[in-house]
Structure 1
Amino acid sequence: MSAMRGAAAYGRGASAYARVGVESGVMSASPHQLIVMLFDGAIASIRTARIHLEAGNTAEKGKAISKAMDIINNGLMAALDAEKGGEIAGRLASLYDYTVRLLLAANLRNDVESLDQAETILADIAGAWKEIGGQTAAQG
């Protein structure tokens, strides 16, 4: 029983440590890096959803998909500036909207293909975003 309590305490401590690490990363990140973190979080949530879908764990699959949708809607979509971004921001908004619809379909139909497609779209955009960051860092 004592070992169980110790393991639980360790788990809580490790979780708190991880949260501090994420918070530190967010606090020291540039706006560009924050967007990269949002992409990474959404993609990680989609991968988690796939694992739960394949394991038949419907509740956890739904939570992971909801998290990915939240990151897309309230992070990536909210970060778009239609005024400064113009046509590119509009196209990204359409892609994000489509990705959210794919995630909804994946959740409703337990459709791995929709999850794969959503992940591919986000990974492609994230790759371009990371490349832009590398170029601006090299110029700066």
Structure 2
Amino acid sequence: MEIQAAGAEKLLCIVFEQLVVNLERARISMERQDIELRVVSLRRARNILTELLATLDFEKGGAIAIQLADLYQFMLYELVDIGQRGDVVTMRKLVNIASQLRDGFVGAQQQLASQKQLRSA
């Protein structure tokens, strides 16, 4: 229900939350030597990043869209490498990057919601 009622900004925040969740699951599974969960979590994280990359609007987004594309591509490359090497340190760095992105988009979404409320009042 939340997803069906959500606007584009809220959906983006939900997607980033899922990215963080899957990266955290992958990190935990690496520490626990759970290969099956690691493979599933890394695949989901890669799919999310691929979707985020594919939906960037370079015309409207300009320089920010280009920078996000570079960051998403970097993260995708690192996830492929992590899948082969099982590097927990790099995994923690990716979780941190994704968490910061999520927090930034959540903050932006909250600002937009506040501005909409002020305009409608």
TM-score of the two chains, using structure 2 as the length reference: 0.90
Look at both structures and tell me which one has the larger radius of gyration over its CA atoms: 1
- Aligned counterpart for 1:72 among listed residues 49, 61, 79: 49
Which residue, out of 101, 106, 112, partners 1:130?
A: 106
Counterpart among 96, 108, 131 of residue 72 in structure 2: 96
Q: How many residues are aligned here?
A: 116
Identity rate of aligned residues, in percent?
Answer: 27
* Structure 1, unaligned runs of 5 or more: 1-23
Shift of 1:115: 1.0
1:59 deviation in Å? 2.1
**1:91 is aligned with what amino acid?**
Q
One-letter identity of the residue aligned with 1:77: L
Partner of 2:21: 44
Q: Which residue of 1 aligns with 2:88?
A: 112
* Partner amino acid, structure 2, of 1:123: S
- In structure 2, stretches of 5+ residues that fail to align are 117-121
- Supply the AA of the counterpart residue of 2:101: I
CA distance in 1, matches of 2:45, 2:93: 14
Query: Equivalent residue of 1:56, what SS?
Result: coil
Any runs of at least 4 consecutive aligned residues in structure 1 with deviations exceeding 6 A, and if so which? Answer: none
Residue number in structure 1 paired with 2:119: none
Give TM-score scaled by structure 1 length: 0.79
Contact 1:102–1:117 (Cα < 8 Å) also in 2: no
Q: Secondary structure at the match of 1:125?
A: helix
CA-atom RMSD in angstroms: 1.0
